[in-house]
Homo-oligomer: A and B are copies of this chain.
Amino acid sequence: MLVSFSIFPLDKGVSVGKYVAKMIDIVDRSGLSYRTSAMSTVVEGSWDSVFKVIKKCHQTLMKNCKRVYVVITIDDRKGARNRLKGKVDRVEQVLKRKISR
């Protein structure tokens, strides 16, 4: 299962990098495969393993924030593995050239 998520506070003003970094730190230490981009972090794993991490991020952020927003998208394809890298590989294979990743 591939899960993309973004999480941030609404009550900490325009700069939230410090809070976002703490979230990535939690994902990074979770042991799950992940990739962070400018807009979200994509994690690969089972429903329970992924949502354990997202719940921990949410709880950690709510300790110091009054309002938190989260966006999550899930793409679950039966029997598929190593999609974190594989889906983008497949795009390059179809286009027969490298893309920006």
Q: Chain A: residues with CB nearer than 8 A to chain B?
A: 2, 4, 6, 8, 10-11, 13-14, 16-18, 20-21, 24-25, 28, 33-40, 42, 44, 47, 51, 55, 58-59, 62, 65-78, 83-88, 90-91, 94-95, 99-101
Contacts and interface: CB of A to CB of B under 8 A. Distances in A.
B76 A58 contact: yes
Nearest to A20: B91
A62 B91 contact: no
Contacts of A51: 51, 55
Task: Give 8 nearest A-B pairs by CB, closest first.
Answer: A21-B94, A4-B39, A70-B74, A72-B72, A11-B14, A38-B87, A67-B77, A21-B91
A12 to B, nearest CB: 8
Identical copies of this chain, number: 4
Contacts of A71: 71-74
